[in-house]
Amino acid sequence: MLRLSQEWGVKLGFERVCDAAKVQVNTPMKVEVAGQAIAVVRDSVGELYAIGDTCTHGDVSLSEGFVEDDTLECWAHGAKFSLKIGHPLTLPAYEPVPVYAIKIVDEQIFIDPTPIFKENNNVHTRN
């Protein structure tokens, strides 16, 4: 019997999140994968990103913030985070949020809940 990940043609670790069409341009969506709150974002050119949903300046959901190009701005105090690497680009946040691998298979979004970039800037590699 095939495991779900094999049936969908994705590596182990990736979990199906939702239909890709549910994520609208510049409208972040909060999801939970393996107990972690993650903001899924589609930017204005259609690129998809998955970053930690909790702002590192306060306990605020980044998915309620604002997308501009490849950044996500926290609605509370305006810190902007890079959607590509999770780093804060403006104060008052100075710690990065984790970034997760995301892929689309058969119009479904899959996210690997093991961060690519973590708060301590270590880069995780997978085979």
Residues lying near ligand FES in the complex (CB under 6 A)? 55, 57-58, 60, 74, 76-77, 79, 92-93
Q: Are 126 and 13 in contact (CB under 8 A)?
A: yes
Q: How far is the CB of 34 from ligand FES (least distance, A)?
A: 24
Q: In the complex, which residue's CB is closest to ligand FES? A: 58
Q: How many CB atoms lie within 10 A of CB 109?
A: 24
Based on CB atoms, which residue is closest to ligand FES, 9 or 58? 58
Cβ neighbors of 2 (< 8 A, separation 6 or more) are none
Q: Name the minimum Å distance from CB 13 to ligand FES.
A: 29
> Toward ligand FES, which CB reaches closer, 60 or 109?
60
Question: What tokens does 46 get?
Answer: 């259609």
Are 87 and 81 spatial neighbours (Cβ–Cβ below 8 Å)? yes
In terms of CB distance, is 19 or 119 closer to ligand FES?
119
Q: CB 77 → ligand FES: shortest distance, Å?
A: 3
Element (H, E) at 37: strand 36-42
Q: Are 78 and 88 in contact (CB under 8 A)?
A: no
CB of 105 to ligand FES, least distance (A): 33
Smaller CB distance to ligand FES: residue 5 or 61? 61
Residue in the block written with tokens 């913030």:
65
